[in-house]
Structure 1
Amino acid sequence: MNTKTRKITTIGMLCALAYVMVAIGRIPIVLFLKYDPKDIIIAIGGLIFGPLTSFVVALIVSLIELFTISDNGIIGFAMNIISSCSFACMAAFVYKKRKKLSGAIIGLLCGWACMVTVMMLWNYLIAPLYMGYPREAVVKLLLPAFLPFNLIKGGLNASITMLLYKPIVTALRRTHLIEAPSNSEKARINIGAILVAVMVVVTCVLFTLSLKGII
């Protein structure tokens, strides 16, 4: 199997996995807003192959969603692409410039910040169309609903991507779908980064439970 075929096969697998995650993994967070983990897979694809791959996977998965499980039609399709790409493409772009563990962490944090900022703007612009609310009502929801939702979503995406990237890449290398790194490219497992990622996940979960009034 040549390199191009391996890449196409891997991207196809990532698309399938991302779609399964959104189809069965939706979790209500705030009001009608639901978290799904597909952006984790989209980001991992970008970290492996570059930001263009993140865009392609986000486009394909969002298109499949549009014709299968979406409730918001073409507006939801556009919002899915914007949300996924603002996180995953930014993370992949930064990592492409600095292919080290620190570059991956910085990239994921930049993706988190970018997604929160972009989605606050687009929710202000687009949410009145698919929610059927006047813009004044949407503005009142930006801080108590949309902001915490996007903070939780971005935090979970960044931290879980950090935790899953190494195992997924290792599995893909063992199946020869991606090339093994040279000795100079091999990254050591950083316990500190793993602990930070776990802490972010726990914080996001506790924040979600507090918003729901469970704790």
Structure 2
Amino acid sequence: MRNPRIEKIVKMGLLCAMSVALMYVVRFPLILPFLEYDMADVPMLIGAFLYGPFWGLLLVGIVCVLQALTVSAGSGWIGCVMHFVATGAYVLVAGTIYRGKRTLGGALLGLLLGSLAMMLIMVPMNLYLSPLFLMSAEMDYAAAQSSIMGIVWSFVAFNAIKAGINSSVTYFLYKPVSRLFKKDFFTWEKRAQ
């Protein structure tokens, strides 16, 4: 007996697992040594395209917490919040646009506007939250924020490159992956018997 709710939960779990695995496997510095690119956004974007923006945002929340507890434990709650806001804006905008226009053009428009949303929202996030990483006994918030002002364009460039790569990968992988996810996972086992 097929249960669509269970099947959806299993598929969402697979997307979460893929996202976390990609965080470990594809991870390297871009522009500045502490700005690391990872492909974790790709499965979350695919999830938003498959199931809608709400489910995509739910994936973002789960993956951000898992990332904060594992790969990016050093960035703590600040990194978790910044990742949720950045990727959440990206996935929410892309998923919402694609939901209204389920074509390759709609996917492209969603990915472009989602990338732009992420880049725009991360400017104030980097200006106000990134200084918290630099604060220490020798450097107060104002001095840390002043330091961040000098490299804010590096953050913008990083987010543009990251979103560009992830959007391109998502654009080319979405249709083949969606064909697999639209199949009934549980009947594959029955056919094999």
Which residue of 2 is the match for residue 134 of structure 1? 144
Q: Unpaired runs of 5+ in structure 2?
A: 136-142, 187-193
Percent of residue pairs bearing the same amino acid type: 31
- Match 1:158 to one of 140, 144, 167: 167
Residue equivalent to 1:147: 156
Cα contact 1:120–1:147 (8 A) shared by 2: yes
Structure 2 counterpart of 1:172, from 172, 181, 190 = 181
Which of residues 102, 105, 121 in structure 2 aligns to 1:102? 105
Name the aligned partner's letter for residue 27 of structure 1: F
**What is the aligned partner in structure 2 of residue 40 from structure 1?**
42
- Misfit runs of 4+, over 6 Å: none
Q: Does 1:68 align with 2:70?
A: yes
Aligned length: 176
Tell me how far apart the structure 2 counterparts of residues 177 and 14 of structure 1 sit (CA, whole Å): 14
Counterparts of 1:76 and 1:24 in 2: how far apart (Å)?
Answer: 19
- Note if 1:3 corresponds to 2:4: yes
SS at structure 2 position matched to 1:28: strand
Name 1:57's counterpart in structure 2: 59
Distance (Å, rounded) in 2 between the aligned partners of 1:151 and 1:6:
35
Deviation at 1:177, TM superposition (A): 4.1
1:93 lines up with 2:103 in the alignment: no
One-letter identity of the residue aligned with 1:165: Y
Give me the CA root mean square deviation: 1.5
Cα distance in 2 for partners of 1:33, 1:147 equals 11
For structure 1, list consecutive stretches of 5 or more residues without a partner in the other structure: 179-215
Deviation of the 1:104 alpha carbon: 1.0
Partner of 1:116: 119
Specify the code of the residue in structure 2 equivalent to 1:136: S
Distance 1:83 1:177, change over 3 A: farther
Q: Any conservation in 2 of the 1:9–1:177 contact (CA below 8 Å)?
A: no
Specify the code of the residue in structure 2 equivalent to 1:15: C
